[in-house]
Structure 1
Amino acid sequence: MNANWIRTFLLLMLCIGALPVVGQVNILPLRQGMPLYTADQLFDVQILNTSNQLTEGFIVILVQDSRSGQIANLQSRLVTLQAGERITGKLIEWENSFAYNSLSDQLSAERIGLSFAQFKYCYRFVTIDQQNILGEYCYEDAPVNLAPPRLSTPRNTEVIQTINPVLTWLPVAPVDPTKVNYSLRLVEKEIYQSSIEALTTNFPLLDVYGLGNTVLVYPVGGIPLEKDKEYAWQVTASIGDIPVGTTEVWTFKIGEERVAEDVAPDGSFRRLKSSQDGMPYQVESEIRFAYDNYHGSEVLNYRIYEATDLTGSIEKLPNLKLVNGLNQLRIKIKKRFDLDPKEVYMLEVIEPSGKRLYLNFITKDIVE
Structure 2
Amino acid sequence: MNKVASEVIANLLNEFHIAIKKNDADLATELFERCKLSFDNMEEDQNVLVYFSLLEERYRMMMYDTKGEELPKNKKYKKEQMDHIRKTNDMIDYYFHFYEAMYESYKKNYERAISLFKIAEKQLSKIPDEIEVAEFYSKVASMYMSIHQSVVSLGYINEAIGIYKRHDDYKRRLVSSLVVLATNYMHIGRFDDAERQLFKAIDIARELNDEFFEAMQFHNMSIVYSAANRSQDCLNALKRAIREESWRKSEYHIRSIYMLAKEYFKIGQKDTAIYYSKKGMEVLKEKENKIYEAKINIIYNLYTARDTSKSIDKCRNNIRYLENRNDLDGAYELSLIISRYYEKERDYKEALEFAHKAIDIEHRMKNLEGS
Normalised TM-score (structure 1): 0.25
More helix by share: 2
Q: Which one has a bigger Cα radius of gyration? A: 1
TM-score w.r.t. structure 2 length?
0.25
